[in-house]
Amino acid sequence: MPALRGKRLILSTPEGFVYDMRAATDRYVDDANRDVIDVVTEEDWYRWMLIGSEPRRAPWAAHLVWVE
């Protein structure tokens, strides 16, 4: 998907799936040459959009992300 920023995501983990996440960035290649997407919780996303409170972003391997 070309434009991910702001889209709702489902993350795959060894324990199962994590719902209610948002893409904080589009897909990019990090310093370790991995294809990743920065993700934030749904709650942090809305706090960021409504009051500008910058969320803590977590890079997530792009191949383990599904767009809702």
Q: Where are the domains of the chain?
A: 8-67
Euclidean distance between the first and final Cα of the chain, in Å? Answer: 11
pLDDT tens digits, one per residue of 5-57: 999 999 999 999 999 999 999 999 999 999 999 999 999 999 999 999 999 99
Q: Is the pLDDT of residue 1 over 70?
A: no
- What sign has the CA pseudo-torsion 30, 40, 25, 4? positive
pTM value is 0.89
